[in-house]
Structure formats: structure tokens, C-alpha cells
Amino acid sequence: MKKRTLFLSILFSFFYLLPSSFAEWKAAPGDLFWIDVPDGWSWQSDAASATITSPTGHQVVHIRYSKTEGLDTEEEARARVDEAREARRYELADRGGKTILKVERKVDGVYGLQTGFLVPTREALNQATSIVFWHGGYLFDVYFEAPREFLRMKMESIMDTLRFQEPPASEEGIADELISEPGAA
């Protein structure tokens, strides 16, 4: 019985993680960024944030963006990104979260920091991801968490489509770009 359950679990995870058919590119107000939202997922945005929600409503990718002033150099921008990452780390530490991953990430040449967390809840030990970018005078703070790794990976695959430059118009161009450059450096 255990083997069958394990097999079904692996099979389900495999099919769930297969590349989704992405529906259409969505742009944040002012064309701050573009992201490809999968079929069935909803997109909402306003002047300060965007939210991508799964069909069940249980998985949510939050993207907050705010205008930053006084960053004249690359070093100042990197310091602001690091400050934002540390603020998220402290926030999750207050919830009992532990940092398990810290990596640099680039999207369209834009520097960012990605941090992975384990966050205890009543029901599970959630796996969370925070990604912070600074681009074009804006600080971008991305956050998502899920009770299972395959759900977190699904949301990360959506984030892998994030672009700071307008994506190609043709579907072939989009597919070629995503295959050759998945978005993470």
C-alpha cells in the first residue's frame, strides 16, 4: 500500500509540474514588468502590487512594488535590495521561519536576491520564497508560500516568466526565450 501511495504521489507531482499552458502576458501598471499567467489563474494589479492566484485560491504570488528615491549607484541599489530581503527574513523569523536558501538571481540583467524559508503553521511546515529586485527606480518584493514543494515550484515556474523588458509578440518567440533563458542566473 505504501509503494502504491508513493507511486501515485510521484506521478501526480510529475504531471502537476509539467509545463503549464501559459495563457497570456500581463503587464503591471506603467509596464513596470510583464509576467505570463497560466490558464485558470487570476491576475489583479493596482498602483502598488500585483497578485496571481491559483484556480483554487490557495496558492498566491504577491508582487509589491514601490518607487524608491535617492539610489544613485548600483551599490546603493544592491544595499536596498539586501535591506528588503533582511526585512522579510525578520518578518518570517517572527513567525518561526528559518532561512534555508540565499541566492542571487537575474532577470533581463536586473539583479535580485532570492531567499527560501521553512515556515511553521498549524497544519504544515510551509515552504516559502521571497525575491527582491530593484529596477527603474522601483523596489520589487515577490513572496509566495505553500504547504508542499510541488506547489511552491509551480509558483516559482510562474515567476520564471517575469520580464522587465517587454516580451516578444509571437508565441514562438516567447517559447524560444523561455527555453533558452529560464529567468534565473
Report the interhelical angle of 149-159 vs 2-17 (nearest 10°): 10
How do 22-27 and 42-45 pair as beta strands?
Answer: unpaired
- Per-residue confidence (pLDDT) for residue 14, from 0 to 100: 42
- Superfamily of domain 20-180 in CATH is Mog1/PsbP, alpha/beta/alpha sandwich (3.40.1000.10)
Kindly report the pTM of this predicted structure. Answer: 0.78
pLDDT by residue for the chain (185 residues), tens only, comes to 555 544 444 444 444 444 445 568 999 999 999 999 999 999 999 999 999 999 999 999 999 999 988 777 788 888 889 999 999 999 999 999 999 999 999 999 998 999 999 999 998 899 999 999 999 889 999 999 999 999 999 999 999 999 999 988 744 444 434 433 444 33
Q: Taking the domains of the chain in order of start, what are their residue ranges? A: 20-180
Residue 83, C-beta contacts closer than 8 angstroms, at least 6 positions apart: none
